[in-house]
Structure 1
Amino acid sequence: MAMNVGSGGGGGEPEVMVDINTTPLIDVMLVLLIMLIITIPIQMHAVQMNLPAGNPPPAEQPQVVQVNVDFDGTITWNGAPVSGEAELDRHMADVAAQAEQPEIHLFPNRLAPYRVVAQVMAAAQREGATKIGLDGGEQYVQ
């Protein structure tokens, strides 16, 4: 410890030292630095994962069936109008019966009733057609 002693001439009290004591601050900083050094290598460990290699792209493009739902609820199958739910079920059953199922691209109009779009997806599920996807999301981007 250091003490500030006045010049030897007077009989008064020595001056008080008003500087901050930095020793506890340095101790705390050293402890924090040591904790940081200890915890960093734990976070740097690599995690070994066996990622799937994936399937190579098919040599030939899959067959695509385009199903459109117009704003008034009319359904077209590759451009040909579908007269009713029975004909839609028959088309879906034909697709599901094939060994290599074609992809069904469902393109609903932005004003199409949701009921009709849900009817097409339910028919695909009911008949066992598994490769179905919704197209036309770009029409909703503004």
Structure 2
Amino acid sequence: MAMSSGGSGGAMADINVTPLVDVMLVLLIIFMITAPLMTHKVKVDLPEANLEKKQDPLDTAPITVAIQDDGSLFWNDEPVTQEMLESRLSVEAQKVPQPQVNVRGDKTTRYRIVDEVVKTAQAQGMRKVGFVTIADREN
């Protein structure tokens, strides 16, 4: 607080607003300069979503390769050997469009066996290889 130089010797009740005005003028100048820069935006034409699923006549059903914990293989629930799996995958890889391969394994199947099947599918030319799981049940 400032002290008065008058004869009373008490504190002045006036507030010095000069520093407040200086700060407000600086903020006003900053906002006047930055406001036009913030309104300049790049115009982008976004694509519109079409939620209707079209049935493609060339779309093929996915192939399911099931693997049991003992290493036995199944092609769409039909038992196959490793050689039969390789030959069928090479035939399917030649199709246009190429079907997706879904690998389904037991909980107790070693990942080494699943990895061998995935590598076999990729070696035969299959581009879309995925895994099938079940969703957790919410209680």
TM-score, normalised by the number of residues in structure 1: 0.69
The residue type equivalent to 1:35 in the other structure is I
1:70 to 50, 68, 71: 68
CA RMSD, 1 decimal: 3.4
The CA distance in 1 between the partners of 2:12 and 2:118, in whole Å, is 84
2:135 counterpart of 1:124 = no
The CA distance in 2 between the partners of 1:67 and 1:119, in whole Å, is 12
Unpaired runs of 5+ residues, structure 2, are none
The residue type equivalent to 1:34 in the other structure is I
2:77 counterpart of 1:82 = no
SS of the equivalent of 2:135 reads helix
2:97 counterpart of 1:97 = no
Greater than 6 Å deviation, 4+ residue runs = 52-56
- Taking only the aligned residue pairs, the percentage that are identical comes to 34
SS of the equivalent of 2:29 reads helix
Q: Which has the larger radius of gyration?
A: 1
Number of aligned residue pairs: give it: 134
TM-score, normalised by the number of residues in structure 2: 0.70
73-82 or 38-47, larger mean C-alpha shift = 38-47
After superposition, where does 1:1-142 map in structure 2 within 5 Å? 6=6, 12=7, 14-17=9-12, 20-49=15-44, 57-60=54-57, 61-84=59-82, 86-136=83-133, 138-139=135-136
